[in-house]
A and B are shown apart, each in its own frame.
Chain A
Amino acid sequence: MEEALTFVTLTLAATLRVATPLVLCAMGGLFSEKSGIIDVGLEGKMLMAAFFAAATAAVTDSAWAGVAAAIVAAEALALLHGFACITHRGNQVVSGVAINILAVGLTVVLGTAWFERGGQTPPLTGSERLQPLFFPDAGDNILVYVALLSVPLTWWLIERTRFGLRLRAVGEMPLAVDAAGVSVAWLRYRAVLLCGLFAGLAGAYLSVAQNAGFSRDMTAGQGFIALAAIIFGRWRPLPAFGACLIFGLLDAVAIRLQGVKLPAIGEVPVQLIQALPYLLTLFLLAGFIGRAVAPRAAGVPYEKEH
């Protein structure tokens, strides 16, 4: 009995650890998508943030400086996305793909040039990392709590404030917002910047909290899983949070089930569990489990009439 309880606690803690970057990323992505700016570049922003967090933490010996650098790095890419998609009305998916590819290349190029460790940053120790706050074994650093708080905050901002109302309107029908005399561009820029903030925190979590340093491609598709969680949660904060927890649980379980033979089923391939978030989202998108309807103006650049 006690063994089972330990197993449950450990799995829950592991789930929360794995889900934290997903939650942060998904909440950030929600702001962007709600405003009508598709963000395929979550992955790239998170990767770039992770790199700059670890690089700055290694140089300054301060995890907090790392977190700040992560936010700056992610916001820079967010502004680039906004500049391309809002100011220049470029293709949002193309811009996101460009940001992802840019981040994959630039982190390794800069990392190798600065640290000469084949793209890795020096291992971080002590004050260079964010330490657990209450439970040393659980890895409950401050960003885990930030992630948990980000969910009600996002819900409140989107559902209960004037800003949120306009944000939703601009994602559904920008013409109406424009006609009401509110700037479509400025609203969308704010959404994109909020997205950068959360993606930056997620990246910092990966390299200065969960892991001790940056390694190449360390996001490993988590930005896309966050995107999947947004779709799975049908563009609403609480269900998206739930999806992140499910995906995190799958990941935590996948590690524990490696090589274990289950009764009646046999060995479950780890690859299957790893692919499950994508498969589940695909089933949802195919309309087998309800319907997912994106904000109507998502992906459409807004052109002001003259």
Chain B
Amino acid sequence: MSAPRRPLPGWVEIGVLPLVNIALAFLIVGIIVKIIGVDSFHALRLLVVGAVGSSESIGYTLYYATNFMFTGLAVAVAFHAGLFNIGGEGQAYIGGLGCGLAVLALDRWLPAPLMIPLAILASAAFGAAWAAVPAWMQAWRGSHIVITTIMFNFVASALMVYLMVNVLIAPGSMTPQSRGFADSASIPSMQAALSWFGISVAQSALNLSLVLALLSCAGVWVFLWHTPWGYALRTMGQNPEAAVYAGTSIKRTTMLAMCLSGALAGGVAVNELLGVHHRLVLDFPAGYGFTGIAVALMGRGHPLGIVLAALLFGALQQGGAELSFEIPKITREMVIVIQGLVILFSGALVHLPRPWLQTLFARKA
């Protein structure tokens, strides 16, 4: 066992340590690329060009980043309450169910200004409800939220496959997907939205959900640091006993944190279903919920950090796809490897570089 942790200078803690953690992760990625037999710097150049080289690729980078902001916020809100929500994937999936049910029931009658907010609320409500059960189990029955949220991911997946194959499938369709949503339930693409102001950008999957994601970031920041509920939530995360002493109800705060977390995860459904697919489809969360863990850890749980981390992971997702197009030896799954390494070095091994930095900054401190 190593020596107890000594504090580092504040700016090193916030500015240097996270960068060293990320650098370590990417060092390993470089080694893996080398093992595969590809020039790392050539690959990196292709990745950057693929992510931000054109108006279209920037659009896709931001579209992926939208999903990552939602799931990153979801993980972060729970983290601040001392809860590890691994269930973002399932909460996004069930959020999609709420979104789909609302739209399929009402899209023929409601105009867009009513339909879209309602569908967004349905996504958030269903996501929150799916998170509320593990929260209830933790708060009232004492079962561990990590285990229950993992199980809820699998249950969500099984439930959705059943519903899509047997109930919600469009009549006559061979693939398990619902009928297409009416236009009133479609969130405008960024291309269309910007053309209202006379700005022309290339067609991509990017849509106005990005605005909702950014608003959510701002909202979470206000909630966590500028409301009494956010204060209670963070107190519980730091020291549950102190929170109880201060009059906070652990049960209520656990429910609040998890419901908010689940509602944020439901944002993925908004971006994917209302913004891109325009129908309910299988497996649309596609791992975004898990990437949210990496985003939240890398962003240190702060909305601003989460925006930056989401942009990085969006760029990796998009650039990685382009990279695997140019060099088939490097598959898109390289991005998953990077996610894993980031979670490892910014999460579990976050204190690894600390002794090195301590020696480095000891003289100056």
B158 near A303: Cβ-Cβ < 8 Å: no
Give chain B nearest CB distance to A301 CB in angstroms. Answer: 9
Q: Are B37 and A101 in contact (CB under 8 A)?
A: no
Q: Which chain B positions have C-beta within 8 A of A286?
A: 137, 141, 143
State the interface size on chain A (CB cutoff 8 A). 57
A279 / chain B contacts, CB cutoff of 8 Å: 151, 155
The answer to whether B36 and A84 have CB atoms under 8 Å apart is no
Give A227 to B144 CA distance when docked, in angstroms.
13
A82 CB to closest chain B CB, in angstroms? Answer: 11
Cβ-neighbour of A95 out of B86, B147, B347 (below 8 A): B347
Residues in B whose Cβ lies below 8 Å from that of A64: none
Specify which chain A residues have a CB less than 8 angstroms from the CB of B329 in the assembled complex. Answer: 112-113, 116
Partner of B151, one of A88, A108, A224, A304: A224
A interface: dominant SS: helix
Contact of A109 among B32, B147, B339 (CB under 8 A): B32
Complex Cα–Cα for A224 and B151 (A): 8
A52 to chain B minimum Cβ distance, whole angstroms, is 14
Give per-residue flags for A156-181: 1 if the beta carbon is below 8 A from chain B beta carbons, else 0.
00000000000000000000000000
A88, B154: Cβ atoms closer than 8 Å: no
Q: Is A228 an interface residue (CB 8 A)?
A: yes
The answer to whether A271 and B148 touch across the interface, beta carbons within 8 angstroms, is no
A126 CB-CB contact with B under 8 Å: no
With a cutoff of 8 Å between Cβ atoms, the chain A residues found around residue B339 in the complex are: 101, 105
Q: Does A290 contact B (CB under 8 A)?
A: no
Chain B interface: which size bin?
Answer: 35 or more
Asked whether, in the complex, the Cβ of B158 is within 8 Å of the Cβ of A106, the reply is no
Number of A-B contacts (CB under 8 A): 160
Give A89's nearest chain B residue, CB to CB.
Answer: B351
Q: Is A104 part of the binding interface, using a Cβ–Cβ cutoff of 8 Å?
A: yes
A152 within 8 A of B: no
On chain B, the residues within 8 Å of A281 by CB distance are: 147, 151
B348 close to chain A: CB less than 8 A:
yes
Instruction: Decide: B36 and A105 in contact? CB cutoff 8 A.
Output: no
- Chain A 73-103, CB-CB to B under 8 Å as 1, else 0, gives 0000000100111011111111101111111
When C-beta atoms are compared, the residue in chain A nearest to B331 turns out to be A112
In the assembled complex, A4 has its CB within 8 A of some CB on chain B: no
Within 8 A of B (CB), among A26-46: 38, 40
Q: Given A88-B349, A101-B336, is A94 in contact with B343 using a C-beta cutoff of 8 Å?
A: yes
Give CA–CA (A247, B34) in the complex, Å: 42
B166 at the interface (CB under 8 A from A): yes
Q: Is B225 an interface residue (CB 8 A)?
A: no
Interface residue ranges of B188-219 to A (CB < 8 Å): none
Q: How far is the CB of A150 from chain B (nearest CB, A)?
A: 23
The answer to whether A303 touches B336, judged by C-beta atoms less than 8 angstroms apart, is no
Q: Please give 13 more A-B residue pairs, beta carbons under 8 A apart, in addition to A80-B344, A94-B348, A109-B36.
A: A85-B348, A88-B2, A89-B351, A90-B348, A95-B348, A109-B331, A109-B333, A112-B331, A113-B329, A184-B1, A272-B162, A274-B158, A275-B154
A residues at B contact (CB < 8 Å)? 38, 40, 80, 83-85, 87-95, 97-106, 108-110, 112-113, 116, 119, 184-185, 221, 224, 227-228, 231, 269, 271-272, 274-275, 278-279, 281-282, 285-287, 292, 294, 302-304, 306
B residues in contact (CB < 8 Å) with A: 1-4, 32, 36-37, 84, 86, 137, 141-144, 146-148, 150-152, 154-155, 158-159, 161-162, 166, 290, 293-294, 297, 328-331, 333-341, 343-344, 347-352
Provide 29 A-B residue pairs closer than 8 Å at the C-beta atoms, listed in order of the A residue. Answer: A87-B1, A88-B349, A90-B348, A93-B84, A97-B86, A97-B290, A98-B343, A98-B347, A102-B337, A104-B340, A105-B339, A106-B32, A106-B340, A109-B337, A110-B36, A112-B329, A113-B330, A113-B331, A221-B154, A228-B151, A271-B161, A271-B162, A272-B158, A274-B158, A275-B159, A279-B155, A285-B137, A286-B137, A286-B141
